[in-house]
Amino acid sequence: VLNNNPTEKVAVALGRHRKTGEDAVVILNRHGFEEDAIADELNLSGIKEIFHNSRFSRHQGTSPCKLTIEVICPAMGKDILKYSPQEWYVLRETPAIYQAITKPMVDAIPEADIQWVYNILDGKKEQDQVHLKTEEFLCLVDYKWQDKSDPKGLHLLSLVRERKTLRSIRDLEGGKHLKMLKTMKASILLEINKRYHIPASQVLCYFHYYPTFWHAHVHFTHISGPSFGSTHAVGKAILLDDVIDNLTMDPKYYQKASITLRLSAVKHSKALEEAVKLNALSLHA
């Protein structure tokens, strides 16, 4: 077996020709679902429930064509939205747009929304996942990395200790944070090297902007890891090395720069609406 991709259900084997004995690359590919036949698939006999918790259940088809079926019932609007195709938009956030749209939105986030971060910083939760603690930041395993036997799943998070004033990359300033960012990069790469035997040359270190939660943090993931959707994409990821170089060039760089954002029509509808009002983008051709 040369390769086996469980996400795409493709396997590649190295075989040998039955008569000539020549090497052969053999690519096995499961078929996707035909739109018209989806209802029929659900009439499979021998479906077995293997998990059930509240609205969520999981079933396994025992017919020759193995199938897992997940059911959310009763489904709420947000469940339906979550599984519908997302519409994305690109917004070039100038400093003026940041002040008009993003900052008021971030300032209005209730503190309770990042209480879970404070619980980690205060030593109340997830302490078994913490790898490093300094006066300025704390590094722990992201909950997405479940299977530690797979180094390509590497995902650590570094949370800064400074609270409230350091919500995102926009709040970074050379004079205040440059030294911390350099220390963070060096010490976490060393820790990854020691603990997981992954060389620094295979680790990608980056911020997200917009971040998923508004308390400044840096991601450390494997360069060959599964990319969780747009997690490594431009318009979302900003390399820690670029941040360090930009702050070195100009300590106020992130107060002056324009930054490209990927915004979801569902998750960021308010920001998109405001941007349309400011003539910063048009949703239509």
Candidates 49, 107, 126, 245: give the one binding its own copies (CB under 8 A): 245
> Can you say whether the dihedral through the CA atoms of 254, 260, 265, 270 is positive or negative?
positive
Site membership for its own copies, residue 241 (CB under 8 A): yes
Looking at the Cβ atoms of 42 and 96, the one nearer to its own copies is 42
Select which of 217, 219, 222, 268 is catalytic.
217
Looking at the Cβ atoms of 166 and 237, the one nearer to its own copies is 237
User: How many residues in the shown chain lie near its own copies by CB under 8 A?
Assistant: 93
Q: Smallest distance from the beta carbon of 135 to its own copies, in angstroms?
A: 27
Looking at the Cβ atoms of 39 and 108, the one nearer to its own copies is 39
| Active-site annotation holds for 217 | yes
DSSP codes of every residue in 118-145: HHHHTTSS-GGGEEEE-SSEEEEE-TT-
Instruction: Give the end-to-end CA distance of the chain in Å, rounded to a whole number.
Output: 47
Q: Smallest distance from the beta carbon of 213 to its own copies, in angstroms?
A: 20
Q: Measured between alpha carbons, how far is 194 from 188 in angstroms, rounded to an integer?
A: 10
The helix/strand/coil state of 107 is: helix
Looking at the Cβ atoms of 57 and 129, the one nearer to its own copies is 57
Report, in angstroms and rounded to the nearest whole number, the Rg of the chain calculated over CA atoms: 23
Contact region with its own copies (CB under 8 A), list: 4-12, 102-110, 141-149, 174-182: 4-12
Amino acid letter for position 281: L
Task: Give the contact letters, 45-84, x = binds to its own copies (CB under 8 A), - = no.
Answer: ------------------xxxxxxxxxxxxx---xx--xx
Site for its own copies in 181-200 (CB under 8 A): 193, 196-200
Site for its own copies in 17-36 (CB under 8 A): 17, 20, 22-33, 35
CA 94 to chain centre: 24
Q: H or E segment at 219? A: strand 217-222
Q: H or E segment at 185? A: helix 174-196
Amino acid letter for position 158: S
Contact region with its own copies (CB under 8 A), list: 105-113, 133-141, 169-177, 241-249: 241-249
The helix/strand/coil state of 231 is: coil
Q: Smallest distance from the beta carbon of 125 to its own copies, in angstroms?
A: 30
State the catalytic residues: 217
